[in-house]
Amino acid sequence: MTQLTLRQLVVLLLMLLSSVAAHAQASRIAMTVGERRFDLTLADTAAARAFAAMLPLTLDMPDLNENEKHVTLPHPLPANATRPGTIRNGDLMLYGTQTLVLFYLSFDSAYSYTRIGRVDDPAGLRQALGPQAARITFSRP
C-alpha cells in the first residue's frame, strides 16, 4: 500500500474542498424582484442545470391562484415530474416542460412538477412579488 506524506494529504484535502466549493457555487443563483434579492439553491436535476444555462433571464410572471407566479419559458427544459405532495413557499418548479412556476405560499398539491430549486429564505417573498404580475430576474450571484 502506498503511504501518503502529510503534504500530499493536505494537497488532496485542498483539492477536495475546492471541488466542493465550486459545486456549491454552481448550484446557487440569485432572483431579483424590484429592489429585493433572494438567493436560491438549485436542485440536482437536468432541468435545473438547463435553466441555469439560460441565465441571466428576466421574466414577466403573471399571478395564478394567489399562490404562484408562472411563465412560459423561451425553450423547453428536460422534465422528470413527480408529485411533491406539499408545495413550499419559495419552491421554483417546472410544470410540463416549459412552464416555470414560483410558489409564494405553502399548500398541498396533487399536481406533478420537476424541481428546479428553492429560495433559501422566502421570508418577504409574497410581499415582494405582490398580487399582480411581477418582473423577476434570475442570474448568477
A 10 A CB-CB count for 108 gives 8
CATH code of residue 44: 2.40.100.20
pLDDT at res. 105: 97
Residues 6+ apart with CB under 8 A from 96: 79, 81
22 within a domain of the structure (yes/no): no
Q: Which helix (H) or strand (E) holds 108?
A: strand 107-108
pLDDT, one tens digit per residue, over 80-107 is 999 999 999 999 999 999 999 999 999 9
pLDDT at res. 3: 76
pLDDT at res. 116: 98
pLDDT, one tens digit per residue, over 102-120 is 999 999 999 999 999 999 9
Percent of the chain with pLDDT strictly greater than 70: 82
Cα 120 to its chain centre, rounded Å, is 9
pLDDT at res. 1: 55
8 within a domain of the structure (yes/no): no
By the 8 A CB rule, do 130 and 56 touch?
no
- Domain span at residue 54 reads 28-139
Domain count for the chain: 1
2 within a domain of the structure (yes/no): no
Buried b (16+ CB within 10 A) or exposed e, 66-95: ebbbbbebeeebebebeebeebebbbbbbb
Nearest to 60 by CA among 138, 139, 135, 137: 135
78 within a domain of the structure (yes/no): yes
Distance between CA atoms of residues 27 and 97, nearest Å: 21
Q: In the structure grid, which three cell numbers stand for residue 50, read together? A: 438547463
79 within a domain of the structure (yes/no): yes
Of 11-20, 32-41, 51-60, 130-139, the one with minimum mean pLDDT is 11-20
